[in-house]
């Protein structure tokens, strides 16, 4: 059975999203058909707005409506600490904590020789320029605990340390409420390495 052309096109658009296959795309398309026209219009405007109204901060690479972003413009934040993350969504996760008061730097990816992603393909050159300011005393590397994230962290550490800037890494290990018996070896190793005195 062939879908009517507008539904087929909508399904095709939904399937461009990660994790959306044909069945889910069909379900979403038919759900969209049954939505109120005002809701569909608002949804469409939201999609257009994120492409037209957002940009990346020229200082830190975070997603923003204003350049520089509000975090970079906030003089009350600790200018001596930069926390390096992989994606803009990681900044939002860190900000939800309401504890980190330093600045951020978004790489927009990680080093991945297999995928052909080198240092010049992610936001490393801008980070190096930022670090040439005397104010920066510490860089906290908060890349994910994947092979690529670890490789990126090591690369950044080797690049930054010779400048006399302290380089730290977010601790990885057991999550709160987890059982040791169910943790994998890498998680347990990271937990032991990241232990602290009580």
Q: Rounded distance, CA 107 to CA 88, Å?
A: 9
Per-residue pLDDT of the chain in tens (198 residues, 90 and over written 9): 689 999 999 999 999 999 999 999 999 999 999 999 999 999 999 999 999 999 999 999 999 999 999 999 999 999 999 999 999 999 999 999 889 999 999 999 999 989 999 999 999 999 999 998 779 999 999 998 888 999 999 999 999 999 999 999 988 776 777 776 777 777 777 777 777 665
- Domain of 22, CATH number, reads 1.10.8.420
Is the CB of residue 116 less than 8 Å from the CB of residue 137?
Answer: no
Note whether 28 and 122 are same-domain residues.
no
Q: 184 Cβ partners below 8 Å, 6+ apart?
A: none
Note whether 140 and 179 are same-domain residues.
yes
Global pTM value: 0.82
| 69 is a domain residue | no
**Phi, psi of 81, deg, nearest 5:** -125, 130
Q: Rounded distance, CA 126 to CA 59, Å?
A: 8
3-state secondary structure of 98: coil
Q: Rounded distance, CA 40 to CA 33, Å?
A: 9
Strands 166-169 and 138-141 come out as parallel
Note whether 36 and 119 are same-domain residues.
no
The pLDDT of residue 2: 87
Which domain covers residue 114, as residue numbers?
74-192
Note whether 124 and 178 are same-domain residues.
yes
| 65 is a domain residue | no
Note whether 142 and 176 are same-domain residues.
yes
The pLDDT of residue 197: 64
Q: Which residues pair with 55 in a beta bridge?
A: 64
Note whether 47 and 97 are same-domain residues.
no
Domain count, the chain: 2
Note whether 48 and 91 are same-domain residues.
no
């Amino acid at each position: 059975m062939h879908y009517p052309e507008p539904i087929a096109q909508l399904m095709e658009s939904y399937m461009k999203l990660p994790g959306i296959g044909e069945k889910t795309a069909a379900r979403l398309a038919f759900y969209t058909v049954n939505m109120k026209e005002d809701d569909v219009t608002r949804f469409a405007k939201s999609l257009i707005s994120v492409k037209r109204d957002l940009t990346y901060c020229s200082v830190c690479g975070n997603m923003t409506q204003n350049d520089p972003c509000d975090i970079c413009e906030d003089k009350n934040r600790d200018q001596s600490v930069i926390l390096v993350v992989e994606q803009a969504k990681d900044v939002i996760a860190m900000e939800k904590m309401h504890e980190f008061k330093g600045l951020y730097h978004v790489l927009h990816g990680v080093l991945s020789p297999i995928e052909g992603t080198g240092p010049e393909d992610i936001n490393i050159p801008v980070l190096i320029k930022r670090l040439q300011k005397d104010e920066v005393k510490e860089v906290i590397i908060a890349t994910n605990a994947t092979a690529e994230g670890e490789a990126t962290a090591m690369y950044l550490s080797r690049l930054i340390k010779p400048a006399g800037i302290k380089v730290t890494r977010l601790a990885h290990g057991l999550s709160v409420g987890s059982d040791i018996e169910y943790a994998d070896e890498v998680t347990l190793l990271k937990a032991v390495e990241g232990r602290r005195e009580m």
